[in-house]
Amino acid sequence: MVVGAGAAGLLAGLFAARAGVPTLLLETRKEPGAKIRVSGGARCNVLPSAMEWSDFHSHGSPHSVRNVLMSWPLQQVRDFFERDLGIALKQEPSGKLFPVSEDPREVVVGLLEALARAKATLVGSFRVVDLRRVEQAGEALYELEAEDGRRLVARRVCLATGGLSLPKTGSDGRGFEFARALGHGVLPLYPALVPLLTPDARWAELAGVSLPVRLSVMRGQKLVEAREGDFLFTHKGFSGPAALDVSWHFASPEGGSARLEAAWLGRQAPAWEALLLAPGRHTLSSLLREHLPRRLAQLLIVRAGLDGETRTATLTREARASLLAELDRCELALSGNEGYRTAEVTDGGVPMAEVRTATLESRSQPGLYFAGEILDVSGRIGGFNFLWAWVSGRKVGEAVAATQ
């Protein structure tokens, strides 16, 4: 029995059913795959085109995450969608893979049709409110109770209930409650891949401006992580792939001492100091506007305590250093994040140390499995969290089949 018919649950059910295991999937919403349908700007970013281990984050051993991901290499996952399900994929310049149709329903329908062929049973509008261990005829089983009073019993249960992110898709975090009730630990939960907020209203005046950036997460003088990519100013703060990728550092309980610094344009940036020292009659405003969005250029000059009409040739060493700091090490003050409403994933969850890496079965509760976002694993933006969901779901399905 699979609780949750999102990406991970659908794969767990499919691979178990294909092996002949009687499979029942229970979905809170009337229709399954809600998160699949809204992902990637409602175009469904199915997968990344390439991956590195650093694309994933877990509070536990990185070897556990690697071992799971290595069990179904990325190219084979892509082959599954293209050859097995018949969904043509295309790669965008960002490296993300989307259906050629750009229709997320094609992915959901393809998975549902595969489930039907495998003779799995899907039940919608079934909100599980309780999960417990029971004894029947000397056998340890799992009893599930629905919100409307229906009860089901199973020998094996996979919790693929997702996290707390994007609650409009049906994610309510109840799976974490089930895990706790069955004796599992749950690491602190917080939103990841989430837009960041700033207390500095001057940044809000740049809402809609986007540009490449290199973001550095700093603790003291130590670089914790750096990400390069597109960056977007919003009415409340910062978004775009680069900001979302590092957002977990500032949403986590340990994030209080972290700082965020921006190098505008990232690797595309010119040699700023050489430009400021070059002969000519440029003003600061005219020079920076050749490379940066106008409003951003003006604000950086103000933050540096300078006048935009100042000629570059007249800059003192101290003034030049102040402006260079704003261009290469611009500190972005943060006051929080937008929360689960807009977060793409939940960080934290059931520790990987509490499941068997080879099967994702609980070490303490035989017959209980976990897949997808409920586990303490999250990936960067760009299809990496779907990759984790597909791979972990398949692993559970095959593990259950092996116990037949």
**What is the chain's mean pLDDT, rounded?**
95
pLDDT, tens digit (0-9, with 9 covering 90-100), for 186-240: 999 999 999 999 999 999 999 999 999 999 999 999 999 999 999 999 999 999 9
Strand 210-219 and strand 361-362: pairing? unpaired
* Structure confidence at residue 345 (pLDDT): 96
In a shared domain, residues 100 and 78: yes
Are 235 and 284 in contact by the 8 Å Cβ rule? The answer is no
pLDDT, tens digit (0-9, with 9 covering 90-100), for 55-104: 999 999 999 999 999 999 999 999 999 999 999 999 999 999 999 999 99
In a shared domain, residues 323 and 398: no
Does residue 255 carry a pLDDT above 90? Answer: no
Q: How many CA atoms are closer than 13 Å to the CA of 145, on its beta-carbon side?
A: 9
In 3D, which of 30, 2, 227, 37 has the Cα closest to residue 121? 2
Range of the domain at 208: 196-337
In a shared domain, residues 226 and 315: yes
Out of 281, 304, 337, pick the residue that ends a domain. Answer: 337
In a shared domain, residues 146 and 248: no
In a shared domain, residues 75 and 223: no
pLDDT, tens digit (0-9, with 9 covering 90-100), for 131-159: 999 988 778 899 999 999 999 999 999 99
Out of 337, 354, 385, pick the residue that ends a domain. Answer: 337
Instruction: Name the E strands within 106-256.
Output: 121-123, 128-136, 139-146, 151-154, 157-159, 187-192, 196-197, 210-219, 222-233, 237-239
Q: What is the dihedral of CA 385, 387, 388, 390, to 10 degrees?
A: 120
The count of structural domains within the chain is: 2
In a shared domain, residues 157 and 216: no
In a shared domain, residues 20 and 64: yes
Report residue 261: phi and psi, to 5°.
Answer: -120, 145
Which pLDDT band holds residue 46 (cuts at 50, 70, 90)? very high
In a shared domain, residues 131 and 278: no
Report residue 128: phi and psi, to 5°.
Answer: -75, 130
In a shared domain, residues 228 and 313: yes
Q: CATH code at 37?
A: 3.50.50.60
List of long-range contacts for 242-245, beta carbons under 8 Å, 24+ apart? 242/213, 242/214, 242/215, 243/195, 243/196, 243/215, 244/193, 244/194, 244/195, 244/344, 244/381, 245/193, 245/215, 245/380, 245/381
What are the structure tokens assigned to 103, written together? 């229709």
In a shared domain, residues 168 and 35: yes
In a shared domain, residues 108 and 209: no
Are 327 and 269 in contact by the 8 Å Cβ rule? The answer is yes
Dist CA 174 CA 162 (whole Å): 9
SS3 state at 325: helix
- Indicate the pTM of the whole model: 0.94
In a shared domain, residues 8 and 43: yes
CA–CA–CA angle 105, 109, 113 (5° rounding): 175
Dist CA 53 CA 24 (whole Å): 33
pLDDT, tens digit (0-9, with 9 covering 90-100), for 340-381: 999 999 999 999 999 999 999 999 999 999 999 999 999 999
Out of 302, 337, 372, pick the residue that ends a domain. Answer: 337
